[in-house]
Amino acid sequence: MSNREIAAYFKTLADLLEIKGDNPFRIRAYRNAARTIETSGYDFVHLVQEGEDLSKLPDIGERIAQKITEIVTTGKLGKLEKLKKEFPPGILDLLRIEGIGPKRARILYEALGIGSLEDLKKAAEAGKIRELPGFSEKLEAKILKGVSLYKKEGIRFLYADAEPRARDLEAYLRRCDAIDRITIAGSFRRRKETVGDLDILITSDDPLGAMDHFTAYPVIKEIVSKGPTRSTVILENNLQVDLRRVDNRSYGAALHYFTGSKAHNIAIRKMAQERGWKVNEYGVYDGKMLPIAGEDEAGIYRLFGMEYIEPELREDRGELEAAREGRLPTLVDPEEIRGDLHCYSDFGLGRDSCEALVKKALDLGYAYLAITDRLDHLTCAHGRKCAPLEEYLETLDTLQKRYSDLTILKGAEVPIDEEGRLLDGGAELERFDLVIASADESLGLDREEQTRRHLAALAHPAVKILAHPSGRIISRRNAFDMDLRRIIEAAVEHRVLLEIDARPERLDLNDAHILQAHKLGARFALGSVAAGADEMERIHYGLYQARRGWLQSEDLANTWKIEHLLN
Ligand code: DGT
Ligand code: CA
Ligand code: CA
C-alpha cells in the first residue's frame, strides 16, 4: 500500500465528517495527517512493519497512528466504514464534480437530500440548486456540465492512482514460485492518463497455485471469478484486475492483443487479412492455420515488416504506416530530462523552501530548475506580507552562488486577465529568466473572447511558456471553449512553448492535442507544477503524455541544454 493510498482514507474520513458538520479541528487534523503521509519521504507500510512510533511524526497523534496501523494491517478503517453507513452510498461521488466540495455537498444533502449524481442531475435540471445559499445559476450550469462529463468518462482511475497499486500487485505476484513471467498490459502499459481496469498476463506451470496466490492478495474486496486460465478480482479501492494465464508460445501474441488498443489491434488484423493471415491472442497464422509468430511481441511487428511500436503509440493514430515506412519517432526518454520548468516554493503556493527544491533537483540529477512562484503572490496582490519579490529574487541569487552544479532559473507564473494582459503587479518581467503565462477559468468569456485573450498573452515578448494550455481537468472540467488551433499557431509564431502540466489530474496538453500541436510545429515544456519537493518526482506522468503525443527530445525543451532553452 502506498502512502498516497493510506492518505486517501484520511481524506475520505475528513470529507465525510465535513459533510456531516463535525468538529472543524478534528477535520483539519485528518487533512493535515493525510498531507503528512502523502508527502512524507518515509514508506508508512515499512514504518508500521518495523514497529516504529508513528506519533513522533508531525501531525500524527496517538489516535491517528493507531488508525494508520489499522489501515496497513487490515486494509480497512473501521471508523470510516461506520461513517459511510450514515450516508447514501453515492454521497462521495458529489465531490468528484467541479465546483462541489464537502461544504457544498453538505448543503445539497441537508437541503435537498441529494445523495448521488443522479439526484444532483435531477435537482440541477429542475433549477433547484441555484436557490441554495452559496450557489448561483452559473454554478448550477457548471455542475450540470460536470455531471455529464463525469458520466461520459465513467469511473476510471487516474494513471497515477492505479500505478502504485499495480506495482505493488506486480511485486506480490513475482514472489510466487508458481508464476514465471508477468506483464501488466492494457491501457496501463500504454500509459494512458486514465485506466479502466488492469489486465495482467502471466505464464505458469502450476495454474491453480498461481491463481490461489493471486486471489489471496490482501487488499481484494471481491473475487468476481476464479479459474485456471482467468481470474477477475475487485480491489478495496474498486480497481478491477483481470489476470490471464497464457502459454509461453503465445506470450508475445497475448501481450500484443491485451496491450491494445482495440483500434490498433483491429488495424493489425486488417493488415493480416490482406495477406491471407489471421491474428488473435494466441498467435499469427498463415493461410493453412500454421503459426508464423506469437512467442515474442517484437516478432509480430517484424513479420509485418514493421519497426517495433512502443505501447504508448498504439492508438491507431498513424503508427502502423509510420512503422512500415521506418519513420516512427524516437520517443523522449526519462534519462534525457535535464530539468523541471514549473514549481512553487513557500514564497507562494508551495510548502518547501527554495533550497529544498534545489536539493531535490540535484537529487534528481537535473542540470537546471526553474522556480516559478505566482507573481501575484510575490507582489502585493494577495494581502500577504507585502511584496516578497525582492527577497525571492535575492534568495534565488544566493542559492545560485551556493549550488553551482545547478542552474537556477528565476521564474514567475503570471496570471492572464480576461483581456489577455499579464498581471505583473508592477514588477518588471525582464527581471525573470522564465515567465510562464497562465489562464484561469473565466466563466464569463465566450469562445472568441477566450481565444483572443490567449492570443494577446502569447504576443507578450516576455512569455516563454503557456501553462496547462487547454485548461481541462480529467473527469472534472472540459477544456476552455476556445480555438485551440489558432492558439497553437500563435505559440509557434511567437516561439512560446506549450506546457505539458504533469499533475496527474491535469496532463494538459493531452496526447491528442500534443500530436496536433506538434504537426503545427509547436515545441513543448514539461512542468511538475510541484507544491513541494517530493512532488517534483511526478514529472514522469507528463513525460508519458509527451510520449503518447509522439514527442522526441528535440520537441521537448526539458531535454535541451540551458543555452538553447533560454534563447
Ligand atoms: P481500459 O481498461 O478501458 O483503460 O482500456 P484497455 O485498453 O485496457 O481495454 P480493456 O481492458 O477493455 O482490454 C484490454 C485490451 O484487450 C485492449 O486494449 C485491446 C484488447 N481488446 C479488448 N477487447 C477487444 C476487442 O473487441 N477486439 C480487439 N481486437 N481487441 C480487444
Ligand atoms: Ca484495461
Ligand atoms: Ca480488462
CATH number listed for the domain at residues 157-245: 3.30.460.10
| pLDDT at res. 1 | 81
Task: Please report which ligand is nearest the Cα atom of 195.
Answer: 1
Task: Please report which ligand is nearest the Cα atom of 257.
Answer: 1
Residues 102, 13: Cα–Cα separation, whole Å = 11
Is the domain covering 334-566 a CATH 3.40.605.10 domain?
A: no
Q: Is 261 in the pocket of ligand 1 (CB under 6 A)?
A: yes
Closest CA to 120 of 159, 153, 151: 151
Give the torsion sign (CA, 455, 457, 462, 465): negative
In DSSP notation, 50-86 reads TT--GGGSTT--HHHHHHHHHHHHHS--HHHHHHHHT
Asked if 493 contacts 461 with a C-beta cutoff of 8 angstroms, the reply is no
Task: Please report which ligand is nearest the Cα atom of 244.
Answer: 3
Helix (H) or strand (E) holding 499: strand 497-501
Q: What residue type is 533 in one-letter code?
A: A
CA of residue 198 to ligand 3 center, whole Å: 6
Residues 229, 246: Cα–Cα separation, whole Å = 7
Q: Is 469 in the pocket of ligand 1 (CB under 6 A)?
A: no
Q: What residue type is 335 in one-letter code?
A: E
Q: Is 144 left (phi over 0), alpha (psi -120 to 50) or beta?
A: alpha
Asked if 447 contacts 483 with a C-beta cutoff of 8 angstroms, the reply is yes
Quickly tell me which residue has 521564474 as its cell: 411
Best residue for ligand 1 mutational test, from 192, 244, 262 (most atoms within 8 Å of Cβ): 262
Q: Is 383 left (phi over 0), alpha (psi -120 to 50) or beta?
A: left
Please give the CATH superfamily to which domain 3-153 belongs: DNA polymerase beta, N-terminal domain-like (1.10.150.110)
| pLDDT at res. 382 | 56
Give the torsion sign (CA, 271, 277, 281, 282): negative
| pLDDT at res. 383 | 55
| pLDDT at res. 442 | 76
- Helix, strand or coil, per DSSP, at residue 245: strand
Residues 543, 243: Cα–Cα separation, whole Å = 28
CA of residue 28 to ligand 3 center, whole Å: 38
Residue nearest atom 30 in ligand 1 by C-alpha distance: 262
For the chain, the domains span 3-153, 157-245, 253-324, 334-566
What are 279-301's pLDDT values in tens digits? 999 999 999 999 999 999 999 99
Q: Is 164 in the pocket of ligand 1 (CB under 6 A)?
A: no
Ligand 1 atom having least distance to the Cα of 259: 18
Q: Is 254 in the pocket of ligand 1 (CB under 6 A)?
A: no
Residues 473, 467: Cα–Cα separation, whole Å = 13
Q: How far are the Cα atoms of 44, 52, 65, 246, 367 from residue 71, in angstroms, in the given order?
A: 10, 15, 10, 34, 40
| pLDDT at res. 294 | 95
- Strand segments, DSSP code E, in 209-281 are 220-226, 230-235, 240-245, 278-280
Q: Is 266 in the pocket of ligand 1 (CB under 6 A)?
A: yes
Residue nearest atom 22 in ligand 1 by C-alpha distance: 262
Residues 557, 523: Cα–Cα separation, whole Å = 7
Residues 88, 93: Cα–Cα separation, whole Å = 10
Best residue for ligand 1 mutational test, from 152, 183, 184, 187 (most atoms within 8 Å of Cβ): 187
Q: Is 270 in the pocket of ligand 1 (CB under 6 A)?
A: no
pLDDT tens for the chain, residues 1 to 567: 888 889 999 999 999 999 999 999 999 999 999 999 988 878 899 999 999 999 998 889 999 999 999 999 998 999 999 999 999 989 999 998 988 999 999 999 999 999 999 999 999 999 999 999 999 999 999 999 999 888 776 678 999 999 999 999 999 999 999 999 999 999 999 999 999 999 999 999 999 999 999 999 998 989 999 999 999 999 988 899 999 999 999 999 999 999 999 999 999 999 999 999 999 999 999 999 999 999 999 999 999 999 999 999 999 999 999 999 999 999 999 999 999 999 999 999 999 999 999 999 999 999 999 999 999 889 865 555 567 899 999 999 999 999 999 999 999 999 999 999 998 877 789 999 999 999 988 767 999 999 999 999 999 999 999 999 999 999 888 899 999 999 999 999 999 999 999 999 999 999 999 999 999 999 999 999 999 999 999 999 999 999 999 999 999 999 999 999 988
Antiparallel, parallel or unpaired: β 157-158 and 194-195: antiparallel
CA of residue 374 to ligand 1 center, whole Å: 42
Ligand 1 atom having least distance to the Cα of 197: 2
Give the torsion sign (CA, 383, 385, 390, 391): negative
Q: Report residue 30: phi and psi, to 5°.
A: -70, -40
The count of other CB atoms within 10 Å of the CB of residue 51 is 8
Best residue for ligand 1 mutational test, from 199, 234, 548 (most atoms within 8 Å of Cβ): 199
Give the torsion sign (CA, 509, 515, 521, 527): positive
CA of residue 199 to ligand 2 center, whole Å: 5
Asked if 159 contacts 195 with a C-beta cutoff of 8 angstroms, the reply is yes
Q: Is 195 in the pocket of ligand 1 (CB under 6 A)?
A: yes
Q: Report residue 117: phi and psi, to 5°.
A: -65, -35
| Residues constituting the chain | 567
The C-alpha cell of 66 is what? 493507531
Asked if 197 contacts 242 with a C-beta cutoff of 8 angstroms, the reply is yes
Q: Is 311 in the pocket of ligand 1 (CB under 6 A)?
A: no
Asked if 227 contacts 211 with a C-beta cutoff of 8 angstroms, the reply is yes
Ligand 1 atom having least distance to the Cα of 194: 4
Residue nearest atom 15 in ligand 1 by C-alpha distance: 258
Helix ranges (H only) for 131-250 are 137-153, 159-174, 186-189, 207-215
Task: Please report which ligand is nearest the Cα atom of 259.
Answer: 1
Q: Is 392 in the pocket of ligand 1 (CB under 6 A)?
A: no
Residues 199, 310: Cα–Cα separation, whole Å = 17
- Burial class for 390, CB neighbours closer than 10 Å (0-12, 13-18, 19+): exposed
Q: Is 255 in the pocket of ligand 1 (CB under 6 A)?
A: no
Residue nearest atom 5 in ligand 1 by C-alpha distance: 187
Task: Please report which ligand is nearest the Cα atom of 196.
Answer: 1
Residue nearest atom 24 in ligand 1 by C-alpha distance: 262
Q: Is 260 in the pocket of ligand 1 (CB under 6 A)?
A: yes
What are 101-128's pLDDT values in tens digits? 999 999 999 999 999 999 999 999 999 9
Closest CA to 450 of 478, 487, 414, 423: 487
Q: Is 199 in the pocket of ligand 1 (CB under 6 A)?
A: yes
Domain 157-245 and domain 334-566 have a common topology: no
CATH number listed for the domain at residues 253-324: 3.30.210.10
Q: How far are the Cα atoms of 274, 278, 283, 303, 309 from residue 292, in angstroms, in the given order?
A: 16, 10, 8, 8, 19
CA of residue 195 to ligand 1 center, whole Å: 11
Ligand 1 atom having least distance to the Cα of 156: 4
| pLDDT at res. 238 | 85
| Partners of 408 in the β-ladder | 369
What are 521-551's pLDDT values in tens digits? 999 999 999 999 999 999 999 999 999 999 9
| pLDDT at res. 381 | 59
